[in-house]
C-alpha cells in the first residue's frame, strides 16, 4: 500500500509530506533528548570534548574481516574509536580503544552488560537508556534513523546514516580531530537480504572479524550500504569544507567514497 501510494503521489508532495512527518517525530523526541537529567549530563561532557583534540588524528575501527589482516599493534598509542562489539578483540590486542560507540538497538539490547562494563568514554544512542544506565564514562547521544545531516556539534541531533561508523565520524569532527582514518570498514557483506531486515544468525559470523561477533542466535540488521554511502559522502564534504580529511586505510575494502591510503604508510 505504501509503495503504491508513493507511486501515485507527485514526488515533491511525497517529499514534503515525508519531511513534515519526520519533523513531527523529531519534535516529539526533542524534550526528553534535551532536558532529561542524563542528557543534560551528557551534553555537559560533550561540551568539554568540543575541539579538545584539535589538530590530532584518530582511527575509526570498523568490524570487518579485514581487521584479521591488519597490524592493530600499530594503533596502541593512537586515538581510536571502537564500534559495537569491538571489545571482543581487546584481549588479543593487549589494549583497548580510546573511545567506544554504539547506536544500534539490537546490538545494545543483547550486549548491555558488556557495554556497561567498559571503562572508556562510551557514546551511546539516547534510546540505550532503556538497557544501560548513566555512569561516569557514558555520553548519551540524540541519534535518529531519519533526517539526513552531518552534525558538527554532537550535543544536538545526529543522523545515524545506517552505520555506526558515520556517528563516529561526527563525534571525531566534534572533538576536533584533523584527520580521521578508517580501518576495518570493508563495506562488503557475505550475508544477503533486504536492507535493515532483522535476522537471527544461524552460525558463525562471516561478516565481521570474530566468528562470534554476531554468532548463532544473535539478532542483527542487514546492512543498508546505499544509505551508508549517502552518509559517507556527507561526511567527506563536511570534513573537506572544514579543511580536514577522512582517509580509508581498510585493507581490501570496497568503500569508494574516501581517499584510499596504504595502512602501513601511515606510520
What pLDDT score does 24 carry? 44
Residues 248 and 132 in one domain: yes
| Same-domain check for residues 159 and 192 | yes
pLDDT computed for residue 50 by the predictor: 98
Residues 159 and 201 occupy one common structural domain: yes
My answer on whether 11 and 87 are in the same domain is: no
Its domain, for residue 15, covers 1-35
Number of domains the chain contains: 2
- One domain for residues 21 and 61: no
- The model's pTM is 0.89
- Residue 16 and residue 80 share a domain: no
pLDDT attached to residue 20? 41
Question: Which pLDDT does position 7 carry in this prediction?
Answer: 55
pLDDT reported for residue 34: 78
- Specify whether 31 is located in the same domain as 145: no
Give the residues of the chain that fall short of pLDDT 50: 13-25, 27
- Residues 2 and 97 occupy one common structural domain: no
On whether both 97 and 181 belong to a single domain, the answer is yes
Same domain? For 186 and 149 the reply is yes
| Residue 3: per-residue pLDDT | 52
Angstrom distance (rounded) from CA 143 to CA 169: 13
Q: What is the pLDDT of residue 33?
A: 74
19 and 58 share one domain: no
CATH number at 153 reads: 3.90.1480
Q: Are residues 11 and 109 in the same domain?
A: no
Amino acid at each position: 500500500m505504501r509503495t503504491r501510494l508513493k507511486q501515485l503521489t507527485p514526488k515533491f508532495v511525497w517529499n514534503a509530506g515525508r519531511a513534515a512527518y519526520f519533523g513531527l517525530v523529531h519534535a516529539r523526541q526533542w524534550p526528553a533528548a534535551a532536558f532529561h537529567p542524563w542528557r543534560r549530563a551528557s551534553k555537559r561532557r560533550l561540551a568539554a570534548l568540543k575541539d579538545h583534540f584539535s589538530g590530532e588524528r584518530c582511527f575509526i575501527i570498523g568490524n570487518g574481516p579485514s581487521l584479521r589482516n591488519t597490524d592493530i599493534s600499530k594503533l596502541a598509542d593512537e586515538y581510536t574509536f571502537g564500534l559495537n562489539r569491538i571489545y571482543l578483540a581487546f584481549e588479543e590486542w593487549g589494549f583497548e580503544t580510546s573511545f567506544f560507540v554504539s547506536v544500534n538497538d539490537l546490538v545494545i539490547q543483547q550486549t548491555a552488560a558488556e557495554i556497561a562494563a567498559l571503562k572508556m568514554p562510551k557514546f551511546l544512542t539516547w534510546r540505550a537508556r532503556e538497557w544501560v544506565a548513566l555512569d561516569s564514562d557514558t555520553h548519551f547521544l540524540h541519534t535518529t534513523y531519519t533526517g539526513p545531516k552531518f552534525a558538527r556539534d554532537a550535543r544536538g541531533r545526529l543522523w545515524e546514516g545506517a552505520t555506526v561508523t558515520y556517528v563516529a565520524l561526527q563525534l571525531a569532527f566534534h572533538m576536533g580531530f584533523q584527520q580521521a582514518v578508517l580501518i576495518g570498514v570493508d563495506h562488503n557483506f557475505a550475508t544477503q537480504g533486504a536492507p535493515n531486515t532483522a535476522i537471527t544468525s544461524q552460525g558463525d559470523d562471516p561478516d565481521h572479524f570474530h566468528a562470534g561477533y554476531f554468532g548463532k542466535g544473535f539478532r542483527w540488521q542487514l546492512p543498508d550500504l546505499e544509505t551508508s554511502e549517502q552518509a559517507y559522502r556527507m561526511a567527506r564534504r563536511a570534513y573537506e569544507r572544514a579543511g580536514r580529511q577522512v582517509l580509508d586505510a581498510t585493507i581490501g575494502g570496497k568503500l569508494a567514497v574516501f581517499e584510499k591510503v596504504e595502512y602501513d604508510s601511515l606510520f
